[in-house]
């Protein structure tokens, strides 16, 4: 089973997530997104809440077109524009699938960055197969579908194909 999401649906989900976080009353001073999946979510929430965004890169899906999980690698450093990391963090990603990445990052962030005093997690989708339950989510998916997000076209589009891809968009 595949859940196909277009750009309009995707942005609506991010806005609904922002509303859930806002209505919760969680007072945070930093957003950390898990890259790559959480980049867009983190960027939009950072704009809505007018808070600094930090980017923590991770990598675990290495084979099968991104469907087979490999060893989890977490970047040693975060990229951020604020002079220092906040103390109350909203940790965001696009989804919690197996839960492995979010659980490990959630557990290790305060160890690696002792300045952090509180962390809550936020995702668009929480799959039932996950070992980790996020604090905030928009949709719980009991059937664990594959989610085809609108930007996944770029996973297979290569530079030499851009001309044809762009032409197909302008041809009725």
Confidence of residue 45 (pLDDT cuts 50, 70, 90): very high
Confidence of residue 69 (pLDDT cuts 50, 70, 90): low
Residues facing 127 on adjacent strands: 141
The tokens for 103 are 């659980």
pLDDT at 55: 95
Between the alpha carbon of residue 100 and those of residues 14, 123, 131, 144, the distances in Å are 22, 14, 7, 15
pLDDT at 59: 79
Rounded to whole angstroms, the Cα distance separating 166 from 161 reads: 9
Answer whether 86's CB lies under 8 Å from 32's CB: no
Q: Is the pLDDT of residue 61 over 80?
A: no
Q: Is 2 exposed, middle or buried (0-12, 13-18, 19+ CB in 10 A)?
A: exposed
Answer whether 138's CB lies under 8 Å from 13's CB: yes
| Mean predicted confidence (pLDDT) in 119-135 | 97
| Mean predicted confidence (pLDDT) in 57-73 | 64
Nearest in space to 113 (alpha carbons), one of 122, 123, 105: 105
Q: What is the pTM of this model?
A: 0.88
Rounded to whole angstroms, the Cα distance separating 96 from 132 reads: 7
Q: Is the pLDDT of residue 64 over 90?
A: no
Confidence of residue 166 (pLDDT cuts 50, 70, 90): very high
Q: Is the pLDDT of residue 65 over 60?
A: no
pLDDT at 91: 98
**CATH number assigned to the domain covering 2-170:** 3.40.50.2020
pLDDT at 70: 63
pLDDT at 170: 81
The tokens for 145 are 């579908």
């Amino acid at each position: 089973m595949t859940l196909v999401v277009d750009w309009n649906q995707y942005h609506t989900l991010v806005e609904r997530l922002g509303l859930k976080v806002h209505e919760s009353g969680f007072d945070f001073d930093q957003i950390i997104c898990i890259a790559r999946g959480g980049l867009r979510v983190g960027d939009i929430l950072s704009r809505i809440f007018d808070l600094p965004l930090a980017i923590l890169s991770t990598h675990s899906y290495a084979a099968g077109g991104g469907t087979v999980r490999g060893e989890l690698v977490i970047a040693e450093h975060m990229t951020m524009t604020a002079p220092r990391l906040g103390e109350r963090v909203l940790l965001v990603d696009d989804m919690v699938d197996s839960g492995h990445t979010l659980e490990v990052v959630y557990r290790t962030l305060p160890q690696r960055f002792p300045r952090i005093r509180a962390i809550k997690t936020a995702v668009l989708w929480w799959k039932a197969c996950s070992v980790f339950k996020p604090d905030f989510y928009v949709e719980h998916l009991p059937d664990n579908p594959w989610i085809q997000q609108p930007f996944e076209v770029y996973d297979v589009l290569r530079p030499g194909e851009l001309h044809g891809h762009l032409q197909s968009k302008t041809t009725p």
